[in-house]
Amino acid sequence: MQTQLTSVFANTNKGQEAEAILRSCVHCGFCNATCPTYQLLGDERDGPRGRIYLIKQVLEGSTPTTETQLRLDRCLSCRACETTCPSGVQFGRLADIGRELIEQEVKRPWPQSLLRHLLLHTLPYPSRINALIKTGRLFQPVLPEALKHKIPIMNQAAACSNKHHARKMLVLAGCIQSVASPATNQALAVVLDKLGIELLSADTAGCCGAMAHHLSASEQALQMMRNNIDAWWPYVESGVESILVSASGCGVMVKDYGHLLRDDPVYADKAAKITSLSKDPVEVLTKALSGKDWSQLGQGQRIAFQSPCSLQHGQKLAGKVEALLSSLGFTLLPVKDSHLCCGSAGSYSILQARLSAQLRSHKLEALLATQAEQIVTANIGCQLHLSTADQPLKHWLELVAENVNHV
Ligand code: SF4
Ligand code: SF4
């Protein structure tokens, strides 16, 4: 695609990055076929090609409007378009650059600004989330239907081994997951313990920064990244093998620290090292289980896996969890349209509630049609978004940990 960025952007790192991405797009439109919002709304401007064109116009000097902002707000950042694109267009990075620019130029109505401010100052902080959930539970009976299912169904962590091992890995506790599903990282510790690996956690690490990053609060996001790097650095120096992130939405963010902090004179090298150590648990377990026979673990239980966009499109790990669970003796059932987003997408389920509810309903229909004994996922956002009182979802690591005594 031909571009003529204004000199204001053309001479900046972000402008040059955006220009290279724009030039890689050949405008074929294949990406529209797998874009959830294009499928729901049928408007070119609600698909990736149209959004690329809108961002291009802004970078070339057009004044963005509330309409431009709306079309980008409706994007889930699911990156299904990246998986489909034959030209390797990095839509996610371009959307981040475009959103930040438009955020600076288009003033939002105050209720929207207030809501975004509240999200930025509650969801990334475990103690504030805890207080919010407790208050929500208290008032749940009188809440509108749309809000009732947004109060997380919390699970409890089982007792976990504290055995020391020579092999050590670090885990991100995270923000929402540490409050709503502590069982996930406990399960990871149980499985790793069985494999002779000790799981450590840094007390002062916190939110990965994804929420702030996707709401265009760049400085808040970068500060969260620097905080985590500081918290992890002593462990890195002591030789931990990997930094594990069990929520795939946070994992895709931590894997991006090296890129996002590449121009930071103090943190660039450290961030690149963090990126090189960062792994989704499926990457580590697939390797650690190679040559071991754990094929009796699952005992044929019929499972549906809800593959998060951040895992399949963001981290490019499509099919890895399914393959691992199959090798462990679970029966994996095919899920219709498994490449499509469930509508959770960080704060999307709150900020774009109508579209999110439609996607949730489609995803639940596809998952329940499998008639699986259990539905599992790999990201806390999808887990909370899709759980119902009758069918709570769990992380796939919990499933493995619950059955680990079969091997
Ligand atoms: S599929 Fe790729 S190259 Fe084609 S329009 Fe979409 S982003 Fe551009
Ligand atoms: S990131 Fe997802 S919602 Fe956004 S344009 Fe790409 S496919 Fe569509």
Question: In angstroms, what is the span from residue 81 Cα to ligand 2's centroid?
Answer: 6
**Tokens for 257?**
């620290």
What pLDDT score does 170 carry?
97
**Tokens for 400?**
């493995």
Q: Does ligand 2 lie within 6 Å of residue 255's CB atom? A: no
Burial class (CB in 10 A: 0-12, 13-18, 19+), 166: exposed
Sorting pLDDT into bands at 50, 70 and 90, what band is 128? confident
Ligand 2 probe mutation, 34, 81, 349, 355, most atoms within 8 A of CB? 81
Question: In angstroms, what is the span from residue 128 Cα to ligand 1's centroid?
Answer: 41
Average pLDDT, rounded, for the chain: 93
Sorting pLDDT into bands at 50, 70 and 90, what band is 6? confident
Q: Does ligand 2 lie within 6 Å of residue 76's CB atom? A: yes
- Of residues 134 and 326, more confidence is placed in 326
Calpha distance 253→276 (Å, rounded): 13
- Of residues 124 and 40, more confidence is placed in 40
Q: What is the rounded average pLDDT of the residues 92-112? A: 95
Query: Taking Cα atoms as reference points, which of 191, 224, 135 lies closest to residue 395?
Result: 191
Nearest CA to ligand 1 atom 3: 25
Confidence check: pLDDT of 232 > 80: yes
Q: What is the rounded average pLDDT of the residues 97-101? A: 95
Confidence check: pLDDT of 155 > 90: no
Tokens 């699970």, residue located = 155
Of the chain, the percentage scoring pLDDT greater than 70 comes to: 94
Sorting pLDDT into bands at 50, 70 and 90, what band is 296? very high
Q: Does ligand 1 lie within 6 Å of residue 26's CB atom? A: yes
Q: What is the rounded average pLDDT of the residues 87-116? A: 96
What pLDDT score does 388 carry?
87
Nearest CA to ligand 2 atom 5: 48
Sorting pLDDT into bands at 50, 70 and 90, what band is 117? very high
| Domain chopping of the chain, boundaries | 7-105, 290-406
Residues shown for the chain: 407
Calpha distance 85→282 (Å, rounded): 25
Ligand 2 probe mutation, 21, 34, 35, most atoms within 8 A of CB? 35
Q: Does ligand 1 lie within 6 Å of residue 29's CB atom? A: yes
Torsion sign, CA atoms 400, 401, 405, 407: positive
What pLDDT score does 142 carry?
60
**Tokens for 236?**
């890195």
Q: Does ligand 2 lie within 6 Å of residue 91's CB atom? A: yes
Q: What's the chain look like in SS3? A: CCCCCCHHHHCCHHHHHHHHHHHHCCCCCHHHHHCHHHHHHCCHHHCHHHHHHHHHHHHCCCCCCHHHHHHHHCCCCCCHHHHHCCCCCCHHHHHHHHHHHHHHHCCCCHHHHHHHHHHHCCCCCHHHHHHHHHHHHHHHHHCCHHHHCCCCCCCCCCCCCCCCCCEEEEECCCCHHHHHCCHHHHHHHHHHHHCCEEEEECCCCCCCCHHHHHCCCHHHHHHHHHHHHHHHHHHHHCCCCCEECCCHHHHHHHCCHHHHCCCCCCCHHHHHHHHHHEECHHHHHHHHCCCCCCCCCCCCCEEEEECCHHHHHHCCCCCHHHHHHHHCCCEECCCCCCCCCCCCCCCHHHHCHHHHHHHHHHHHHHHHCCCCCEEEECCHHHHHHHCCCCCCCEEHHHHHHHCHHHC
The string of pLDDT tens digits covering residues 340-374 is: 999 999 999 999 999 999 999 999 999 999 999 99
Confidence check: pLDDT of 35 > 60: yes
The string of pLDDT tens digits covering residues 239-278 is: 999 999 999 999 999 999 999 999 999 999 999 999 999 9
Question: In angstroms, what is the span from residue 59 Cα to ligand 2's centroid?
Answer: 20
What fold does the segment set 290-406 form as a domain? Rossmann fold (3.40.50)
Q: Does ligand 2 lie within 6 Å of residue 343's CB atom? A: no
Confidence check: pLDDT of 377 > 60: yes
Q: Which amino acid is at 90?
A: Q
Sorting pLDDT into bands at 50, 70 and 90, what band is 146? low
Calpha distance 4→230 (Å, rounded): 40
What pLDDT score does 168 carry?
97
Q: What is the rounded average pLDDT of the residues 303-322? A: 98
Sorting pLDDT into bands at 50, 70 and 90, what band is 2? confident
Sorting pLDDT into bands at 50, 70 and 90, what band is 151? low
Calpha distance 7→136 (Å, rounded): 49
Q: What is the pTM of this model?
A: 0.93
Q: Does ligand 2 lie within 6 Å of residue 267's CB atom? A: no
What pLDDT score does 129 carry?
78
Confidence check: pLDDT of 398 > 80: yes
Question: In angstroms, what is the span from residue 22 Cα to ligand 1's centroid?
Answer: 10
What pLDDT score does 337 carry?
97
Question: In angstroms, what is the span from residue 49 Cα to ligand 1's centroid?
Answer: 6
Q: Does ligand 2 lie within 6 Å of residue 380's CB atom? A: no
Point out the ligand 1 atom lying closest to the alpha carbon of residue 32: 6
Confidence check: pLDDT of 307 > 90: yes
What pLDDT score does 178 carry?
83
Residue 38 CA: which ligand is closest? Answer: 2
What pLDDT score does 389 carry?
82
Sorting pLDDT into bands at 50, 70 and 90, what band is 145? low
Of the chain, the percentage scoring pLDDT greater than 90 comes to: 82
Point out the ligand 2 atom lying closest to the alpha carbon of residue 341: 2
Confidence check: pLDDT of 143 > 80: no
What pLDDT score does 3 carry?
81
Question: What's 7-105's CATH class?
Answer: mainly alpha
